[in-house]
Structure 1
């Protein structure tokens, strides 16, 4: 079996976001046999059925193709007002369409998130899991990656500096590799 191709994207558009930093750390800490490619959601337009009916927007077409080509999806979410940020939910909505041929259908998904708060991103991740019931995506149940106090775990350049978190990230990514392999290569 060749390398696992994982597509990762963060639900924050802010360049210095903890979640973008966490995604970069995941790419750096990926175990042997896993390659994480990062997709930036900045160009994904708001979902609009009229726009969909008149033709797939180019950025959406690229995202859908990248998802279809990947063996697994790694979503890194902030938590805004106790929920999923609109940027990430919007990407999920686009990739759940059309329902009979959704890019996210039957894809293994890993969820991570970072927050300065004390509960990490538990509520946002829970809400995302509900969306995957519709897309029939396979969200990895355990281990959960809920980074709390993210402001204490990265340096000014966005590098993950907390050693226990780095070790847990490695464990999470090994578990995710095993999870993706359960569903076979694409």
Structure 2
């Protein structure tokens, strides 16, 4: 009976975006850890990392007769086809990074492909762990019709002992992995709720 119920549960498709373009970025490490968690212990989810590095800077001159450059259109389709989003957002000058804002703006061009989807934010950095960037991203989400989970919040001070990441930017702290898992479970539940499906 349990196998039948599990088979009926949909697979939530998550598009994951990292605001840092650096390969060993701690925030990118959070996404890698999230991808491993859905393989190991968070069933019913699939995470695809969506690389924002190839996107040109937003320039409406690149829009011709309602069409976008191929790399932009491919990105927009990935956003459109996802059930929800996971943002890993570093904090640059109290805000989100330029590359992430650029990606958000491209996908918000008509028609806005972010609308009416669930989202979660995680961040790693110094001090507040990227918290100010998260709050700014939530403000942006209001205009985009993105619905962010409220709790649990995930801010991680990456420089406070003990070490949270290895030299390649991989998350190694088990307590932080459990916190990240809680975010994924909340995102899954909220996504199903928005889709009108009560089971988690």
State the TM-score, normalizing by the size of structure 2.
Answer: 0.86
Q: How far apart in 1 are the matches of 2:117 and 2:57?
A: 23
Q: Following superposition of structure 1 onto structure 2, how do residues 1-186 of structure 1 map, counting pairs within 5 Å?
A: 1-30=9-38, 31-53=42-64, 55-98=67-110, 101-115=111-125, 117-149=126-158, 152-184=163-195
Aligned counterparts of 1:150 and 1:19: Cα–Cα separation in 2: 13
Q: CA RMSD in A?
A: 1.5
Residues 73-109 of structure 1: per-residue CA shift (max 9 Å, x gap):
11110001111100001111111111xx211011111
Residue 131 of structure 1, CA deviation: 1.0
Q: How many residues end up aligned between the 2 structures?
A: 182
- Shift in CA distance, 150/61, structure 1 to aligned 2, threshold 3 Å: farther
CA distance in 2, matches of 1:50, 1:39: 24
Runs of 4+ displaced beyond 6 Å? none
Please, which runs of 5 or more residues in structure 2 have no aligned partner? 1-8
Q: Partners of 2:135 and 2:29 in 1: how far apart?
A: 21
TM-score (norm 1): 0.93
* 1-structure distance, mates of 2:102, 2:159: 24
Q: Distance in 2 between matches of 1:16 and 1:150?
A: 15
SS in 1 for 2:86: strand
CA distance in 1, matches of 2:154, 2:64: 37
Helix, strand or coil at the partner of 1:95: helix
- Worse-matched range after superposition: 30-39 or 144-153: 144-153
Offset of residue 150 of structure 1: 5.1
Larger Rg: 2
For the 8 Å contact 1:23–1:76, the answer to whether it is kept is yes
| Deviation (angstroms), 1:50 | 1.4
